[in-house]
Amino acid sequence: MKILTAAEMATCDRVTSERFGVPQRVLMQAAGVAVARFARQHFPRARRVTVLCGRGNNGGDGMVAACELARAGRMVTVVLLGDPNGLRDEAARLWSALEHVPGVTREVVAEDATRESCEALLRVADLVVDAVTGTGFRPPLRGLALAVVAMLRTASAPVLAVDLPTGWDADAATSTQAFPADALVTFTAPKPAHVLGHLTRRWSDPVVVAQIGSPPEAIATGSGLRWAGASKSMVEAARAVNAHKGSFGHVLLVGGSIGKAGAVAMAAMAALRTGAGLVTVATPTAVQEQVAAYAPEMMTMPLDADACALLERKTVVAIGPGMGTEEQARKTMGRLLDEMENDAVPMVLDADALNLLSAEPGRVKSLAQRHKLVLTPHPGEMARLTGKTVAEVEQDRVGVARRFAQEHGVTLVLKGSRTLVAHADGQVAVNTTGNPGMAKGGSGDVLTGVLAAMLAQFPDKISHAVEAAVCLHGLAADIAARRLDEHSMLATDTIASLSRAFALRLVEEDGWAWLQGAAFRRMSSHRMSSHRIPSHGIFSR
The H or E element containing residue 31 is helix 24-42
* pTM of the full structure: 0.93
Confidence of residue 541 (pLDDT cuts 50, 70, 90): very low
> How many domains, in total, are found in the chain?
2
Does residue 508 register a pLDDT over 70? yes
426: left (phi over 0), alpha (psi -120 to 50) or beta: left
Question: Which CATH number is 187's domain given?
Answer: 3.40.50.10260
- Chosen domain end from 222, 247, 277: 222
> Is position 519 within any domain?
no
Rounded CA separation 480/519 (Å)? 9
Q: Are 200 and 314 part of one and the same domain? A: no
Q: Is residue 521 part of a domain?
A: no
CATH number of the domain to which 322 belongs:
3.40.1190.20
Instruction: Tell me which residue of 407, 384, 411, 383 sits closest to 396, measured CA to CA.
Output: 383
CB-facing half-sphere around the CA of 133: CA atoms within 13 A: 23
3-state secondary structure of 12: helix
| Domain end among 171, 194, 222 | 222
**Residue 211 falls inside a structural domain:** yes
Question: Rounded CA gap, 470 and 419, in Å?
Answer: 8
Are 210 and 306 part of one and the same domain? no
- Phi first, then psi: give them for residue 243, nearest 5 degrees: -70, 155
Q: Give the pLDDT confidence score for residue 538 in this predicted structure.
A: 34
Question: Tens digit of pLDDT for each residue in 47-97?
Answer: 999 999 999 999 999 999 999 999 999 999 999 998 999 898 899 999 999
pLDDT-derived band at 528 (thresholds 50, 70, 90) equals: very low
User: Which pLDDT belongs to residue 522?
Assistant: 54
pLDDT band for 540, please (50, 70, 90 cuts). Answer: very low
Mean pLDDT of the 470-483 span: 97
Residues 255, 160, single domain; the answer is no
Provide the residue range defining the domain that includes 90.
6-222
Asked, for residue 523, whether it belongs to a domain, the answer is no
Highest mean pLDDT among 112-126, 160-174, 355-369, 507-521: 160-174
Mark whether 37 and 133 lie in a shared domain: yes
Identify whether residues 324 and 377 lie together within a single domain: yes
- Are 70 and 159 members of one domain? yes
Same domain? 355 vs 394: yes
Answer with the one of 190, 222, 254 that is the final residue of a domain: 222
In a domain, 525, yes or no: no
Q: Are residues 241 and 218 in the same domain?
A: no
Q: Please determine, for residue 361, whether its predicted confidence score (pLDDT) is greater than 80.
A: no
Residues 106 and 142 in one domain: yes
Determine the Cα–Cα distance for residues 324 and 327; give it in Å rounded to an integer.
Answer: 9
pLDDT score, position 249: 97
Question: Are 67 and 208 part of one and the same domain?
Answer: yes
In whole angstroms, give the CA distance from residue 16 to residue 38: 24
* CA atoms of 33 and 64, how far apart (whole Å): 7
| Same domain, residue pair 195 and 266 | no
The DSSP code sequence of 142-172 is -HHHHHHHHHHTT--S-EEEESS-TT--TT-
- Coil, helix or strand at residue 456: helix
Query: What percentage of residues in the chain have a pLDDT greater than 70?
Result: 95
pLDDT tens for 204-215 read 999 999 999 999
Report if residue 422 sits inside a domain.
Answer: yes
Judge whether 319 lies within some domain: yes
Determine contact, residues 452/484, Cβ cutoff 8 Å.
Answer: no
Residue 530 domain flag: no
Q: Check whether residue 49 and residue 149 sit in a common domain.
A: yes
Write the CB contacts of 492 (distance below 8 Å, at least 6 apart in sequence): 266, 269, 442
